[in-house]
């Protein structure tokens, strides 16, 4: 394929570039923001090799914006010397292997899959002030992606974004992300890199944590770094390596925190924060950094924090000039630091108090769980009435009556889950063959077969299921969607199997109905999904099923004293108004008079309050009507 | 991003699919797991056009197609939804319609703003989906707006809380263009199985 040929050709070109660049270290390579000189440092002998490139230690304290790299080096020198005197073995070196991990940027054109590669690249190149060599151009989902190896090129490409148009006159955007490494480059360098990283990490672990407060910050959600003027924000990303992907920050509470921003920190890089070294504690923190020089950290003032808002991770690499600013007092700093970095592991060389102690996670509580939700009183009544009728027939022993409840082209499916221990396994086993779990079932034929279609098939299937007894007094209903054509709700509850091998065993269910208004103000089922699982309260649930059948016959007067009492009780328990309860019972009575086995209506009530405690075994005995 | 969604021909679509697929095979999964940040959507191939016919055989073929379509959309959706919920929470509301509603353990959340606030306030999560079922919703309810019912179950661990079993269902609705389909959540209902004891 032409595509891969091009990749191969580019790869070859890139390797040439690597070789040219790194074979001659002493020659300053001016590539925009790349370092212009390197400094050799002592380190663990094991890490020194033939590869020459070495990181530069960086000290950002007391540096005004006007100082450029020249003065950094001077200060580096002094700091290097001091560090060396103290504890030389603590320094970790990463002598980067030949051509490793330059500064790769991933360039993405959203929806770029529409565009031909050559056409697109030409278009971009025409607009771009700098000539670039795209590496590993490919399409990823809907986007076109390639890599460039240079920060200034990446920056120039970013500027092209929105200034080019496609053939349909739609703007083309270009996104730049600093942490991409072309696959080919990764593969090339892998063995050595792994070795280096391993060494780096081992060394790191041996280092005194006092000297190396490294914290794990929020990985991807750290956009909201503004902390209302209480400090600045630091984060850096570790590219691959055993340190793990993520963002790290360094801060201390002894002086106002100085936080440094790095666009990328290479494996093995770490940060030393030593407040004693700060010439002016009010001014900031002495930090020495072993890092590739182009990862010059940037210290932001709190005012600049606002710039972080809404910035995608890929866009923060552009400005690399280091700045150090003054900070506010540190009394409130710990909390603000912890707020920004809830996963803080270590602060000032000591274990972080942890988010719970600081009350961080307390900020994020789960909302209180509530009981049934209905859209309105009218809908509530409608749904409850429907459910009463439905389960009356369902539990009656003859489910053919349900034909009237389903639409001609309704759908039904069953799914089960083994959650609550082995006790449920044997009970649920009989449902296993009809279990439709798309996650596990890949065969499209079976997926189709297990979905019951048309009311006849559905009712036939339901009729074959064991006879049940549902406990409508403890159901929970969530009405989650309604339009004038559709009413959707889910019913959670328990039922008992009253025949067969597992007679007496209790199962929990969640049944999801999608219904449409049918004839005579009833609901017509279009979709029905039944989910079954075991219940952990096997014994207590049986207490719910103490039903006392109260025979109704058509010979009884419409509203006897007894019935009035029941209606009142029903009304009180269910929260429905009196008339509605009456109507409800009346309807049921008519059903009962058809000699269908009876479930006493006073038991049919649904928790309406929000206390959320009615679905358990604490429910009062059904017979009591107080 | 929407402005880029211009009309593509069917042929183009297939070609693009081939382009990205071929690279994907070479590159391997670890490489690709990185990039989902460009847009957060569930996109599938165009929906089959309903065929007007009175023959029962033909209509059952159509139904099968709807079922397959529903399954594919549901699978794709569930993968994206829970991963987004766990790892890119801030992008989650992009999967919802503007007027979508969520009923979370009985709490009603309606509209994108409220949904944004709600998901922001929710602790970080770790979802594990064990069960997924789906059905195409009958057009009588949806007035021919293609909709899929998705039902899931599994476990979730919210930071600072114990693990819960949960049940969730979604109503996914298709926004079709001639060349692709974007699925969005019209409604979301979530419950802990042991909600009463929390």
Query: Does residue B198 sit within a domain?
Result: no
As a whole number of angstroms, the distance between CA A61 and CA A273 comes to 11
Q: Does B1 touch chain A (CB under 8 A)?
A: yes
Distance from CA of A620 to the nearest CA of B (A): 16
What is the arithmetic mean of pLDDT over B68-88?
A: 93
Give me B178's structure tokens: 């001639």
User: Would the pTM count as exceeding 0.95?
Assistant: no
- Chain A, residues 254-313, CB within 8 A of chain B, namely 312-313
Query: Does residue B122 sit within a domain?
Result: yes
- Chain A, residues 490-509, CB within 8 A of chain B, namely 490, 492, 508
What is the arithmetic mean of pLDDT over A235-242?
A: 37
Q: What is the pLDDT of residue A536?
A: 67
Q: What is the pLDDT of residue B84?
A: 95
Q: Fill in the DSSP letter of residue A288.
A: E
Range of the domain at B100: 63-192
Reported confidence tier of residue A586, pLDDT bands at 50, 70, 90: low
Most distant pair of Cα atoms in chain B: their distance:
57
**E strand or H helix that includes residue A363:** none
DSSP string, B36-94: --S---EEEPPPPPPP----HHHHHHHHHHHHHHHHHHHHHHHHHHHHHHHH-GGGGGG
Lowest-pLDDT choice from A285-294, A432-441, A565-574: A285-294
As a whole number of angstroms, the distance between CA A532 and CA A506 comes to 11
- Chain A, residues 440-479, CB within 8 A of chain B, namely 444, 447-448, 451, 453, 476, 478-479
Mark yes or no for CB contact B167/A490 under 8 Å: yes
Q: What is the pLDDT of residue A152?
A: 86
| Chain B positions in Cβ-Cβ contact with residue A180 (cut-off 8 Å) | 34
Residue A105 has pLDDT above 60, yes or no: yes
**Residue B59: closest CA among chain A residues belongs to which residue?**
A409
Q: Of A425, A384, A335, which is closest to residue A581 (Cα–Cα)?
A: A384
| Chain B positions in Cβ-Cβ contact with residue A536 (cut-off 8 Å) | 194
Q: Does B94 touch chain A (CB under 8 A)?
A: no
The ipTM of this complex is: 0.77
As a whole number of angstroms, the distance between CA A176 and CA A517 comes to 53
Q: What is the pLDDT of residue A519?
A: 80
Q: Does A432 touch chain B (CB under 8 A)?
A: no
Residues 6+ apart with CB under 8 A from A545: A469, A471, A496
Q: Fill in the DSSP letter of residue B137.
A: P
- Chain B, residues 96-115, CB within 8 A of chain A, namely 101, 103-108
Give me B163's structure tokens: 């693990």
Cβ neighbours around A459 below 10 Å, total: 21
Q: Which of B8, B108, B133 sits opposite A436 (nearest CB)?
A: B133
Q: Which residues of A261-293 are buried (b: 16+ CB within 10 A; e: fewer)?
A: bbbbbbbbbbbbbbbebbeebebbbbbbbbbbb
Q: Does A597 touch chain B (CB under 8 A)?
A: no
Task: Match 């396994």 to its residue by tokens.
Answer: A425
Residue A177 has pLDDT above 70, yes or no: yes
Reported confidence tier of residue B52, pLDDT bands at 50, 70, 90: very low
Query: Does residue B152 sit within a domain?
Result: yes
Q: What is the pLDDT of residue A302?
A: 39
Task: Match 């439709």 to its residue by tokens.
Answer: A436
Q: Does B9 touch chain A (CB under 8 A)?
A: no
Query: Does residue B79 sit within a domain?
Result: yes
- Chain B, residues 60-89, CB within 8 A of chain A, namely 63-64, 67-68, 71, 74-75, 78, 87-89
Q: Which of A180, A485, A536 sits opposite B140 (nearest CB)?
A: A485
Most confident among A11-15, A39-43, A85-89, A334-338 (mean pLDDT):
A11-15
Q: Which of A108, A369, A613 sits opposite B106 (nearest CB)?
A: A369
| Chain B positions in Cβ-Cβ contact with residue A312 (cut-off 8 Å) | 37
Total of domains in chain B = 1
| Chain A positions in Cβ-Cβ contact with residue B34 (cut-off 8 Å) | 180
Q: What is the pLDDT of residue A184?
A: 73
Give rounded-to-5 percent helix, strand, coil for chain B.
40, 35, 25
Query: Does residue B32 sit within a domain?
Result: no
Residue B41 has pLDDT above 90, yes or no: no
As a whole number of angstroms, the distance between CA A102 and CA A601 comes to 76
How wide is the angle at C-alpha A159 spanned by C-alphas A154 and A164, nearest 5°? Answer: 115
Distances in Å between the Cα of A556 and the Cα atoms of A553, A570, A583, A586, A590 are 6, 19, 16, 12, 11
Residues 6+ apart with CB under 8 A from B18: none
Q: Which neighbouring-strand residues pair with A496?
A: A469, A506
- The per-residue pLDDT for range A431-480, each reduced to its tens digit, is 989 999 999 999 989 999 999 999 999 999 999 999 999 999 889 999 99
- Which burial class, exposed, middle or buried, applies to A465 when counting CB atoms under 10 A from its CB (0-12, 13-18, 19+)? middle
Residue B12 has pLDDT above 60, yes or no: no
Query: Does residue B28 sit within a domain?
Result: no
Indicate which CATH number applies to the domain containing B138: 3.10.450.50
How wide is the angle at C-alpha A186 spanned by C-alphas A212 and A6, nearest 5°? Answer: 150
Q: Which of A143, A221, A451 sits opposite B38 (nearest CB)?
A: A143
**E strand or H helix that includes residue A580:** helix A578-592
Mark yes or no for CB contact B107/A508 under 8 Å: no
Which of A261 and A132 is assigned the larger pLDDT?
A132
Cβ neighbours around A24 below 10 Å, total: 10
How wide is the angle at C-alpha A292 spanned by C-alphas A42 and A66, nearest 5°? Answer: 105
Q: What is the pLDDT of residue B181?
A: 85
In this complex, how many residue pairs, one in chain A and one in chain B, have their CB atoms less than 8 Å apart? Answer: 233
Mark yes or no for CB contact A370/B106 under 8 Å: yes
As a whole number of angstroms, the distance between CA B103 and CA B99 comes to 13
As a whole number of angstroms, the distance between CA B67 and CA B5 comes to 26
Reported confidence tier of residue B82, pLDDT bands at 50, 70, 90: very high
Task: Match 């909390």 to its residue by tokens.
Answer: A335
Distance from CA of A114 to the nearest CA of B (A): 7
- Chain A, residues 353-392, CB within 8 A of chain B, namely 356, 361-362, 364-373
Query: Does residue B42 sit within a domain?
Result: no
Count of H-run helices and E-run strands, chain B: 5, 7
Query: Does residue B68 sit within a domain?
Result: yes
Q: What is the pLDDT of residue A104?
A: 84
Q: Does A108 touch chain B (CB under 8 A)?
A: yes
As a whole number of angstroms, the distance between CA A106 and CA A32 comes to 17
- Chain A, residues 39-98, CB within 8 A of chain B, namely none
As a whole number of angstroms, the distance between CA A434 and CA A529 comes to 12
- The per-residue pLDDT for range A145-165, each reduced to its tens digit, is 888 888 888 888 888 888 888
Reported confidence tier of residue A306, pLDDT bands at 50, 70, 90: very low
């Amino acid at each position: 394929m032409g595509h891969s040929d091009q990749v191969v050709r580019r790869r070859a070109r890139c390797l040439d570039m690597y070789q040219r660049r790194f074979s001659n270290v002493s020659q300053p390579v001016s590539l925009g923001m790349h370092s212009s000189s390197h400094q050799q440092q002592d380190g663990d002998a094991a890490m020194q090799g033939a590869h020459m490139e070495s990181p530069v230690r960086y000290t950002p304290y007391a540096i005004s914006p006007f100082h450029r790299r020249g003065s950094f080096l001077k200060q580096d020198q002094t700091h290097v010397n001091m560090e060396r005197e103290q504890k030389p073995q603590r320094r970790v070196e990463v002598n980067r292997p030949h051509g490793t991990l330059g500064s790769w940027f991933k360039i993405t054109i959203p929806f770029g899959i529409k565009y031909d590669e050559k056409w697109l690249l030409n278009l971009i190149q025409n607009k771009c002030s700098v000539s670039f060599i795209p590496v590993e151009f490919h399409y990823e989902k809907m986007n076109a992606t390639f890599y460039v190896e240079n920060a200034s090129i990446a920056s120039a490409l970013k500027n092209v974004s929105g200034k080019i148009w496609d053939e349909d006159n739609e703007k083309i955007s270009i996104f730049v992300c600093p942490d991409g490494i072309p696959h080919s480059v990764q593969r090339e360098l892998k063995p050595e890199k792994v070795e280096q990283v391993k060494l780096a990490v081992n060394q790191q672990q041996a280092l005194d944590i006092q000297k190396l407060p490294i914290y794990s910050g929020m990985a991807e959600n750290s956009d909201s770094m503004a902390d209302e003027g209480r400090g600045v924000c630091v984060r850096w990303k570790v590219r691959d390596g055993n340190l793990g992907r993520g963002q790290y920050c360094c801060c201390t509470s002894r002086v106002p925190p100085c936080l440094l921003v790095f666009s990328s920190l290479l494996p093995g890089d770490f940060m030393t924060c030593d407040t004693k070294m700060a010439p002016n504690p009010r001014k900031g923190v002495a930090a020495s950094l072993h890092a590739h020089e182009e990862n010059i950290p940037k210290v932001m003032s709190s005012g600049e924090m606002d710039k972080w808002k809404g910035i995608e991770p890929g866009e923060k690499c552009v400005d690399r000039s280091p700045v150090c600013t003054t900070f506010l007092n540190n009394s409130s700093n710990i909390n603000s630091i912890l707020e920004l970095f809830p996963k803080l592991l270590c602060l000032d060389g000591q274990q972080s108090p942890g988010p719970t102690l600081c009350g961080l996670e307390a900020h994020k509580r789960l909302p209180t769980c509530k009981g049934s939700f209905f859209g309105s009183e009218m809908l509530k009544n409608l749904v409850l009435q429907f459910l009463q009728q439905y389960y009356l027939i369902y539990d009656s022993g003859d489910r053919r009556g349900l034909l009237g409840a389903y639409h001609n082209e309704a759908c039904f499916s069953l799914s089960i889950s083994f959650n609550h221990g082995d006790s449920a396994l044997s009970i649920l086993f009989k449902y296993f063959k009809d279990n439709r779990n798309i996650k596990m079932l890949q065969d499209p034929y079976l997926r189709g077969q297990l979905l019951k279609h048309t009311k006849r098939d559905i009712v036939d299937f339901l009729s074959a299921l064991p006879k049940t007894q549902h406990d409508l007094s403890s159901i929970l209903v969530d009405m989650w969607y309604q339009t004038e054509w559709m009413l959707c709700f889910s019913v959670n509850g328990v039922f008992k199997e009253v025949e067969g091998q597992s007679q007496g065993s209790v199962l929990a269910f969640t049944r999801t109905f999608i219904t449409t208004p049918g004839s005579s103000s009833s609901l017509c089922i279009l979709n029905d999904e039944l989910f079954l699982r075991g219940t952990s309260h096997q014994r207590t649930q049986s207490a719910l099923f103490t039903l006392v059948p109260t025979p109704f016959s058509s010979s009884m007067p419409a509203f006897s004293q007894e019935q009035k009492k029941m209606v009142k009780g029903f009304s009180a328990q269910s929260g429905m108004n009196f008339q509605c309860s009456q109507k409800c019972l009346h309807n049921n009575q008519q059903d009962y008079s058809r000699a269908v086995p009876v479930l006493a209506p006073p038991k049919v009530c649904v928790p309406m309050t929000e206390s959320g405690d009615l679905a358990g075994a604490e429910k009062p005995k059904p017979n009591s009507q107080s | 991003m929407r402005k880029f969604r211009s009309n593509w021909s069917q042929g183009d679509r297939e070609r693009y699919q081939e382009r990205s697929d071929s690279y994907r095979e070479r590159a391997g999964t670890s490489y690709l797991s990185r990039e989902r940040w460009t847009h957060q959507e569930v996109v599938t191939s165009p929906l089959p056009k309903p065929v007007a016919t009175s023959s029962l055989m033909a209509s059952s073929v159509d139904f099968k197609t709807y079922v397959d379509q529903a399954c594919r959309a549901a699978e794709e959706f569930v993968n994206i939804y829970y991963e987004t919920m766990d790892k890119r929470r801030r992008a989650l509301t992009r999967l919802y319609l503007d007027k979508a509603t969520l009923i979370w353990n009985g709490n009603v959340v309606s509209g994108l703003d409220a949904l944004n606030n709600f998901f922001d306030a929710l602790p970080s999560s770790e979802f594990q989906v064990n069960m997924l079922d789906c059905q195409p919703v009958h057009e009588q309810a949806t007035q021919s707006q293609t909709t899929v019912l998705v039902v899931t179950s599994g476990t979730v661990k919210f930071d600072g809380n114990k693990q819960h079993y949960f049940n969730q269902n979604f109503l996914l609705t298709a926004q079709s263009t001639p060349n692709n389909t974007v699925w969005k959540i019209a409604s979301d209902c979530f419950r802990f199985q042991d909600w009463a004891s929390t």
